Amino acid sequence: MDYELFEHEADIGIRGFGDTVEEAFENAAKALFEIMCDTSKVKQSHQVPIKVSAKDMEPLFIEWLNELLAVKDVEEMMFSGFSVKIRKGKEGFSLEGKALGEGIDQAKHSLKLEAKAATYAGLKSGERDGKKFFQCIVDV
């Protein structure tokens, strides 16, 4: 299991799993976009660079997801593939990543809910069944 969605009152929780923190971030991004569309129908024809930073790993997770949502809106794209590289520095953590996708096509992508923001509600990280995970609640 790469990711899972979980119910939370009027919003939706996402949880990304991975052998590494980077993989958990990537899989959480897949979960985020699965809330909005059928990601299996999103062609990975365009690549968009993503850069964020934060003092700690959990806020970095939120910054990553919210930057993806911002780029989705500005570029009018849906994404289905992600890659992440995280570095620790003196001031905290920096993430350099890529989002792969294509322009939004309502008919092709089977659009679902609109994700407004990844929130600090339910923000948690840890290990489960030998996999690292990061989770949060997404405002829809």
pLDDT, position 78: 98
pLDDT, position 6: 79
Q: Which two tokens stand for residue 83?
A: 């890659």
Q: What is the pLDDT of residues 25-77, one digit of tens each?
A: 999 999 999 999 999 999 999 999 999 999 999 999 999 999 999 999 999 99
Instruction: Report whether 36 contacts 114 (CB < 8 A).
Output: yes
Q: What is the pLDDT of residues 8-31, one digit of tens each?
A: 677 999 999 999 999 999 999 999
Mean pLDDT computed over every residue of the chain: 96
Tell me: pLDDT of 5 over 90. no
Domains of the chain, CATH where assigned? 3-139 (3.55.10.10)
**119 class by beta-carbon count within 10 Å (0-12 exposed, 13-18 middle, 19+ buried):** middle
pLDDT, position 10: 75
Q: Around Cβ 84, how many Cβ atoms within 10 Å?
A: 23
pTM: 0.95
pLDDT, position 59: 98
pLDDT, position 1: 63
94 compared with 4, residue with greater pLDDT: 94
